[in-house]
Structure 1
Amino acid sequence: MAKKRAREADGAAEAPDKMVEDGDSSDDDDFDMVNVDFEWFNFDPEIDFHGTKSLLRQLFDVDATLFDISGLADLILSQPTIGSTVKVDGKETDAYAFLTALNLHEHREKKQVADLTRYISDKAKTNEALAVIPDLLSSGKHVGLVLSERLINMPSEIAPPMYNMLINEIEAAVEDKEPYEFSHYLIISKTYHEIESTLDVEERKRKKGKQDATMFYFHPEDEVLQKHAVASGSYDYTKMDEAIADSKRAFQEMGIMPRGFMILIEASKFAGAAKAISEYLSPPS
């Protein structure tokens, strides 16, 4: 195995190991600062199954029930040198974030991958901006499916080192003659827009026609990745309706309507996209 695929002796990666999260307020008395040490680790099948499965469910939102999420988590854990987890309280704890890549062609016979590939293809057909994806997936080319998710309150600054490590690990895997020489990377993510709540019927009627359909990113790096893409676009979840948005309102005036999001990047441009993420999100020195 190539040396650059190994982590530090304690399991942590060579990445920024401390970030400061601060919550500011107009009232100085309410100012709070929390110092958090983030550590990067390889996937460990003995530890990371439940944490990975939970984050996959979050990534696919209501449509997670359409797949064998347990089987997908097992597949991710079966390739521990590709991708990484981010943890706070040591290796034995559940991951707060993860990033990995799966070869859709290599694993095409596995049911969890076949079902997911079919789902991706069907969803891509619903958006003209994603029209190139179904043909690519059926072409026999090796497409790397990038799966990345983190807890909602995780700082976006963890993304650059995760992407940089993934690129290094894939380069090393290719040197080792492993099946990670991709033609494209297909990133599965999610966006959202705000909608008026159906809980306040009269208020909804009064504001009818004034809905703001502006798209927001759960992962800020997606906005950067999109600029390097061959294709990108959103799609509706199969099991989503406005009642779900109300349940996620969290006492706000507007409900939140999540949507799936895909970004397709040629392999030759992926490293440049990761560099752009670093420039955009890395904390100031």
Structure 2
Amino acid sequence: MGKKRSRELDGKDPVEADPNVDKMDEDDEEDFDVVNVDFEWFNFDNDIDFEGTKGLLRQLFDVDANLFNMSALTDLILSQPTIGSTVKVDGKSTDAYALCTVLNLAEHAQKEPIEAISKYLAQKARTNESLSAIPPLIEGKKQVGLVFSERLINVPGEIAPPLHSMLIDEVGAAVEDKEPYEFTHYLILSKTYQEVESVLDVEDRKKKKAKEQASVYPFHPEDEVFQRYATAYGSFEYTKQDEAVADSKRAFQEMGIKTFGHMILIEASKYPEAVEAVKKYLSPPS
């Protein structure tokens, strides 16, 4: 890699660095308990971030994480410390609450586990006609940047715009340094979910046979905006889908969730505009 492009906050209040990532309004305390949290952005650090990064990647791949060498994927991400960010709360030495980074699928095509992940994504894209534009790009070794963006469930969506904005800046700086990040497309890997009845609710299930199929929702609200700028987007079933629906994942009161993988393909030229739209969408009302 070229020289390190540091973009830590140099002691500044991270909330001041991006006003859209704000502390919760104290007025809301009347309705619920408020926890004020200051988020900090850091470069990936190979000595600190292995376990936290690996955990978030496993969360992103859900039940299919075991299909790949997640340790090798984590090592590959940590090998490019000037690309991407972690978000933490209690200092640099702690595990990340969120991350965002990108890997060049063509550049790492022969490396573990990118070869396996590329085949997986192409295969899954063929199961959904809406994703038909993706396999030719992957299999043709085009300059596709696979974006990994994930966060813990309670982390607010407002952190997404600065994560993606910093990624754009860092990729631009890397291209100036003649590094292999001059993408034609970004492929954002994400997740969706569908509310489903628990296997324990036998009687309820019988009563609801005629109920329409539940809607599919994004885990990340920014995905709805990215899709407006996308060449292709859509969900797919996990290979180990049966393991995704379990009573241990019951949520939304008496409902459980069935998770799906999701892909969003955006032309590189449209990615900055999409990120700006996400920023406006997730900005708190004035």
TM class by smaller structure:
over 0.9
Matches of 1:4 and 1:116, distance apart in 2: 28
Task: After superposing the two structures, state which structure 1 stretch, 272-281 or 208-217, moved more.
Answer: 208-217
Contact 2:186 2:268 survives alignment (8 Å): yes
Task: After superposing the two structures, state which structure 1 stretch, 47-56 or 4-13, moved more.
Answer: 4-13
Match of 1:42 in 2: 43
Match of 1:172 in 2: 173
Contact 1:15 1:40 survives alignment (8 Å): no
Matches of 2:68 and 2:111, distance apart in 1: 12
Matches of 1:74 and 1:131, distance apart in 2: 30
Measured after TM superposition, the shift of residue 236 of structure 1 is: 0.2
Task: After superposing the two structures, state which structure 1 stretch, 12-21 or 99-108, moved more.
Answer: 12-21
One-letter code of the match for 1:218?
F
Q: CA RMSD in A?
A: 2.3
Task: After superposing the two structures, state which structure 1 stretch, 93-102 or 248-257, moved more.
Answer: 248-257
Task: After superposing the two structures, state which structure 1 stretch, 254-263 or 12-21, moved more.
Answer: 12-21
Contact 2:131 2:233 survives alignment (8 Å): yes
Match of 2:159 in 1: 158
Q: Note the alpha carbon deviations across 1:151-196, whole angstroms, 9 max, x for none.
A: 0000100001101100000000000100000010000000001112
Match of 1:19 in 2: 22
Q: How do 1:54-93 and structure 2 match up within 5 A?
A: 54-93=55-94
Tell me whether 1:97 sits opposite 2:98 in the alignment: yes
TM-score by length of 2: 0.92
Contact 2:5 2:170 survives alignment (8 Å): yes
Measured after TM superposition, the shift of residue 242 of structure 1 is: 7.2
Q: How do 1:1-285 and structure 2 match up within 5 A?
A: 5-9=6-10, 14-16=17-19, 19-21=22-24, 28=30, 31-241=32-242, 244-250=245-251, 252-284=253-285
Contact 1:76 1:100 survives alignment (8 Å): yes
Contact 2:244 2:259 survives alignment (8 Å): no
Q: Note the alpha carbon deviations across 1:190-209, whole angstroms, 9 max, x for none.
A: 00011122212111111112
Contact 2:100 2:149 survives alignment (8 Å): yes
One-letter code of the match for 1:94?
D
Structure 1 stretches of 4+ moved >6 Å: 22-25
TM-score by length of 1: 0.92
Contact 1:5 1:172 survives alignment (8 Å): no
Contact 1:11 1:40 survives alignment (8 Å): no
Q: Provide the identity percentage.
A: 63
Matches of 1:169 and 1:37, distance apart in 2: 23
Matches of 1:182 and 1:90, distance apart in 2: 32
Contact 2:63 2:243 survives alignment (8 Å): no
Matches of 1:269 and 1:44, distance apart in 2: 30
Q: Note the alpha carbon deviations across 1:93-119, whole angstroms, 9 max, x for none.
A: 000000000000000110200000010
One-letter code of the match for 1:89?
D
Q: Note the alpha carbon deviations across 1:230-272, whole angstroms, 9 max, x for none.
A: 0000000110127724321148221211100000000110111
Measured after TM superposition, the shift of residue 17 of structure 1 is: 9.2
Measured after TM superposition, the shift of residue 15 of structure 1 is: 3.5
Matches of 1:268 and 1:234, distance apart in 2: 23
Matches of 1:274 and 1:11, distance apart in 2: 23
Matches of 2:65 and 2:25, distance apart in 1: 33
One-letter code of the match for 2:23?
V
Task: After superposing the two structures, state which structure 1 stretch, 53-62 or 235-244, moved more.
Answer: 235-244
For structure 2, list consecutive stretches of 5 or more residues without a partner in the other structure: none
Matches of 2:67 and 2:149, distance apart in 1: 19
For structure 1, list consecutive stretches of 5 or more residues without a partner in the other structure: none
Contact 1:194 1:214 survives alignment (8 Å): yes
Distance change in 2, residues 1:51/1:22 (3 Å): farther
Measured after TM superposition, the shift of residue 2 of structure 1 is: 7.2
Task: After superposing the two structures, state which structure 1 stretch, 127-136 or 11-20, moved more.
Answer: 11-20
